[in-house]
Amino acid sequence: MIELLLQADRLFTVDLVDQAEAIYRRVAEQDPRNAIAVVGLARCALAREDDREAYQLAAKALAIDPRNDMARRMEARLSEIFASRGEPLRQTTAVAPADRVPATVAPSGAAGRPARSVLDRLRGR
């Protein structure tokens, strides 16, 4: 499994999102408790700009492995983004607010420039 996940990560890194997603999906189907594969699927959803799906997958990965830092950060930041848009999401995991990693977003106009959105930072832009 680890070799497949590494291959998927390499594919994702060079923007071969569809191929990476197929591998992450195959691993997640073979091992539904593999939080790394589910986070990979969430990253692919972000790359496709499907924020809602990315959030749901990050929350699922967090439910599988509450210590998965990437899942925790992704779920917290996307949750914050949706809340700031006035689009609260139904919580799909039992993650207490104290368990979240705080998102650090500079306020708009800080240092005379517009803030880069958290979503853009998650997408690597």
CATH number for 17: 1.25.40.10
Asked whether the whole model's pTM tops 0.85, one would answer no
Give the tens place of pLDDT for each residue, 70-90.
999 999 999 998 998 888 776
Give the tens place of pLDDT for each residue, 55-74.
999 999 999 999 999 999 99
Quickly list DSSP for 26-38: HHHHH-TT-HHHH
Domain count, the chain: 1
- Domain hosting 74: range is 2-123
Residues 48 and 16 sit within 8 Å (Cβ to Cβ): no
Whole-number Å distance between alpha carbons of 84 and 8: 32
pLDDT in tens, the chain (125 residues): 899 999 999 999 999 999 999 999 999 999 999 999 999 999 999 999 999 999 999 999 999 999 999 999 999 999 998 998 888 776 544 443 334 333 333 333 333 344 445 555 555 55
